[in-house]
Amino acid sequence: MNGLAPMGPPEILTSLGVSFRLHKHPDVTSPLEVCAALGIPLERTVKTLAFVTTEDRLLLAVLPGHARLRYGALARAAGIRRGDLSPADAGRLARAGMQPGGVCPVSADRAAMVVFDRTVSGLGRVHCGSGRRDSSIEIEAAELIAAVSEAATASIVSLPTDGSA
């Protein structure tokens, strides 16, 4: 390695020519804190959960902010066993140009597997992590998906049926 920090998601999106807005906010980690800081509903957010496989490969699950991940469905979509998933730690995220609480599906880790829930494409304009805890990206969901080459799409979430998160 050359000792340089990897590019973060905003720099990667810019290099791809993708249109987005970067919103600064207080250093927060939970989706609800981000929503409060930006004055947006949870349903207008996309959260990215980061895992590592037994081979230290990064696996990013991308889902609506108000949805719950179905771990077995994610593992099947990624072609691995559920038991082979572990939460990514801060050091692993740093190697991908991100911090915990700011994870984005756009990553400097070219070997990362990314699985979008099938509902994300229909969300319109959303807010997602920027790689940092002190800012968020506002972007069209379809453009976010298009910016991640070789991403998979699968049904990996449970959505609330009563409108609650």
Q: In what helix (H) or strand (E) does residue 34 lie, and over which residues does it extend?
A: helix 31-38
- Which amino acid appears at position 100 of this protein? P
More confident residue, 7 or 52: 52
**How do residues 76-131 score in pLDDT, each as one tens digit?**
999 999 999 999 999 999 999 999 989 999 999 989 999 999 999 999 999 999 99
pLDDT at 162: 58
More confident residue, 29 or 61: 61
Structure-token match 């990362």, residue found: 112
Distance from C-alpha of 30 to C-alpha of 100, rounded to nearest angstrom: 10
pLDDT at 1: 42
pLDDT at residue 68 greater than cutoff 50: yes
For 110-163, where are the alpha helices, taking DSSP H only? 141-146
What would the mean pLDDT of 39-57 be, rounded to a whole number? 95
pLDDT at residue 58 greater than cutoff 90: yes
Structure-token match 């992590």, residue found: 129
pTM of structure:
0.92
pLDDT at residue 16 greater than cutoff 90: yes
